[in-house]
Structures are given as structure tokens and as C-alpha cells.
Amino acid sequence: MKPHDGLYLDGAWRPASGPAVVDVVNPADEQIIGRVPAATAEDVDTAVRAARAALPGWAVTPPAERAVRLAALRDVLAARKDEIAETVTAELGSPPAFSQAVHAGVPIAVAGSYAELAATYAFEERVGNSLVLHEPAGVVGAITPWNYPLHQIVAKAAPALAAGCTVVLKPAEDTPLVAQLFAEAVHEAGFPAGVFNLVTGLGPVAGQALAGHPDVDLVSFTGSTAVGRRIGATAGGAVKRVALELGGKSANVILPSADLARAVAVGVANVMSNSGQTCSAWTRMLVHSAQYDEAVALAAAAAAKYAERIGPVVSARQRDRVRGYIEKGVAEGARLVAGGPEAPRERGYYVSPTVFADVTPEMAIAQEEIFGPVLSVLRYTDEDDALRIADGTVYGLAGAVWAGDEAEAVAFARRMATGQVDINGGRFNPLAPFGGYKQSGVGRELGAHGLAEYLQTKSLQF
């Protein structure tokens, strides 16, 4: 993927209004691999005007035709799968096999799911003597993070386009190249000019201008709770809709009847994949006191196996932040059983796969989102204690429950205050609603629920 030196505005690559650029760095070797424009507030305004101008035409385009464009988009992404994977590996640092399967594979599946949903969704319904129309919400400002860079873009752009909305995207400054690739794919798929626009650049400049733009109807943000809170406040002030996918500190609850070895192995893999940079990662493992020592030994051994194959974290800033948390865990009295704060390699933003034992629920490493390959193992005495610990953070994004039989795990999952729970290692479902309880966010992404976020209703009475 050769970087563009322009912004994708109104159907073409156009120069930014200012000279500022963002360097893109490969976190595995710290080399600069590209340079993209840093959009100004003026550029964001140009993008929003293009999206506004394109809205009336796209909003009345029959859903079946929108579906044809989305299917074409899916096909272009599928044809460029290798290039997507290579681009994400270069700018995020994730190992090639993971980039192929997840960073490229999941967004292709999600784009395909919205091609289907656009064709089949009931955009009109009869309710008694009313006809209810589900109309596009309008111009969407999408702001995305770097951790699953293409997935986060597709999880917003595909449902918005399926709904008949037009989009301005501000991707993360650390991973703009796959966003440019996505804009190329939109272009190739034949969407009308202005329906999708890309402004690369910095959060406090381009992101803030987009989130606060008076002509944006709906802001969809994924990232940190700190930024999400501000975006929510700005949107509230302007009485505009907002969807927020924020942080998590999810619990992996292993009940005494579970297959302990399997639950621990899958739990460690879940935290170490993508170098721990997954908002829904099960970063707290909850184990019954009778099985605690055995679980800690299994977790330490499992984590050690990742030392050679784990990728770097995205940036020097993120590496320093994660190492800071590891030091904090030691200072708080938790016991390191794998990894630690030392740099495992001379070059690249690597962090050792780390496991802490003797973690208590009030420690910062058990409360705050670390966003790195760091697992905390906590002990509980009975199920009520496990539930109290599992729900004892400001977050509620995801979780896991393991038990000897499914019904027992489901009974526990029903009591948890969280948006999604994997039962005995259940697989990711790209059609299931994804989003958080409590401070993990507002709204849901993926599947029909994700499409509904981009619709507003009008009732006609007869």
C-alpha cells in the first residue's frame, strides 16, 4: 500500500489545506514507513460539506442498490486481503497470521454482513394504524482507534452506508494507511462521490473538529473513556446522537466445575492476542481459592510460550504506559509470575507477556484498562464473591464464564453487568451486538443492532 499525500474528499484524493503531516511508524523496528496529511478543521469542514451534499441522493437510493455497493466493497476488500494484512502488520505490528485471520478476515465478513442486511432489513414496518419508516440518521462523523484499525472502520462505515447515511472518517493517527486502503476500496466499489470521506490527522485537531461540527448528525466514537466522555458531552450540548465504544476490564470467571486447564489456556491466549490491545480482552482471571495455585502455574507457563511470538504494542507511548502499569502492579504488592517491565528486545515497542498473581480487586492493575499483554489472576471464595469482583469496575464490556455444564455458566452470565459473555470459549459472532454496560459505552455495533444505530424513525398515521 503506497501512502496517499491527500485526503479522500468528495470522491477524489485532494490536497490538505495545510502542510502538517503524520509520520507512520512500524512498531516492530521503529522505522518510518509512510507519511499522511494531518487534516485541519478547514479540511474537516470540506469533508462534512461533501457528506451533506451527498446525503439526499444516498438516503433515497433503494436499499437493494446500497446492498450492491456494499457487496462490491466486500469483494474489493476480499481481493486485497493480503495487502490489508501486510498494511496492518506494518503499521500496528501484529504477526502476519493474526493480521490475515483477524485484521483482514473479520472486516471482510462484517462488510459482507451489511451487504446482506441492507438487502433484507425491514426499513418500514406497520404498527397498528401507523407506517413506521426507519430513515438514515444523516451525516455520520466516525472516529476510530488503532487496535483493530480496519475492523473499527468497517464496523462504523458499513452499517452507516447500509442505512443510507453519509460518512466522514477520522482514523487513528497511528494506523492511517489501512484507512487509506479502505477509502480506495470504497472508490473502487463505485459509491457516489461524497458518500464516504476520509480525513487523516490528529485527534485534538481533526477529531475534535469532526466531533463538534454543527452539520454532523451523529458521532460514532471508539477509543478511550477519557476522550469518549468529552465527545459525549459535546454531542449532548448540541443535542446530537452519539455512539461510544469505550474501554473494558473484563472478567474471565472460571467456576470450580470448569475444565481448568482449557479455561486458563484460552484465557491467556485471549489476553495475549493482538499484544493485549483488545478492548474486550479478559484481563482479569477469577479463580476459586481451592484451584488458585494450580491456575497461576498454568497461566505463567502459558504466558511464557508467547514470549517469542507476541508482536509489539503500537507505539512508544503505549509501551511506556503498559510498562508503567507493570511497575505499578509490583509496587502495589502483586506477585509477578511471568514477564515484567524490562524491555524484552533492543528494538521495537515490545512488552513481555506478563502475569500477576495475588492481585486484589482494588489494585489499579485490576481496575484500569492497561491495553497491553498483562493478565491479573484474582481469587474468589464463592459465586457471589466472584460476581462482586467481576462487576466491581466502572466497565462492563465483555467477559467469559467457564463451567462443567453450559447451564451453570449461563446462569452466572445472566447475573453479570456486561455487554457480552463467551460461554465455555464461545466463538466471536460478527452478527451479535457488541457494546458496553456502564462506562464501557453507549450503543451497539455489528449486525442488525449496529445498523439500527444509524437509523431514525418517522411514524405516519392513517
Active site residues: 245, 279
List the one residue out of 404, 398, 405 whose CA is nearest residue 438: 398
User: How far, in Å, are 43, 260, 317, 329 from residue 297 at the CA level?
Assistant: 54, 11, 31, 18
Bridge partners (DSSP) listed for residue 445: 434
Q: Which of 245, 358, 422, 445 binds ligand NAP (CB under 6 A)?
A: 245
Written as nine digits, the cell of 23 is 509520520
User: Residue 19, interface with ligand NAP (CB under 6 A)?
Assistant: no
Contact (CB, 8 A) for 301 and 283: no
> What is the arrangement of strands in the sheet containing 354-357, beginning at the earlier edge strand?
335-338, 354-357, 374-380, 284-288, 251-254, 399-402, 422-423
Contacts of ligand NAP in 286-345 (CB under 6 A): none
* DSSP output for 339-362: --SS-SSSSSS----EEEES--TT
Contacts of ligand NAP in 160-179 (CB under 6 A): 170, 172-174
User: Residue 144, interface with ligand NAP (CB under 6 A)?
Assistant: yes
User: Residue 435, interface with ligand NAP (CB under 6 A)?
Assistant: no
Per CB under 6 A, which region of 80-88, 243-251, 285-293, 323-331 contacts ligand NAP?
Answer: 243-251
Question: Cα–chain-centroid distance for residue 278?
Answer: 7
User: Residue 349, interface with ligand NAP (CB under 6 A)?
Assistant: no
Q: Which of 8, 98, 114, 146 binds ligand NAP (CB under 6 A)?
A: 146
State in angstroms the smallest separation of the CB of 48 from ligand NAP.
14
User: Residue 254, interface with ligand NAP (CB under 6 A)?
Assistant: no
**Residue, CB closest to ligand NAP:** 203
CA distance 203 to 369: 20
- 380: which residues sit within 8 A by CB, 6+ positions away? 286, 287, 288, 289, 386, 389
Query: What is the contact mask toward ligand NAP in residues 100 to 139, using x (rule: CB under 6 A)?
Result: ----------------------------------------
Per CB under 6 A, which region of 103-111, 218-226, 357-365, 451-459 contacts ligand NAP?
Answer: 218-226
State in angstroms the smallest separation of the CB of 235 from ligand NAP.
11
Strand-strand pairing, 196-198 and 166-170: parallel
Please report, as ranges, the residues that interact with ligand NAP according to CB under 6 A. 143-147, 170, 172-174, 202-204, 207-208, 211, 222-224, 227, 230-231, 245-247, 279, 369, 371
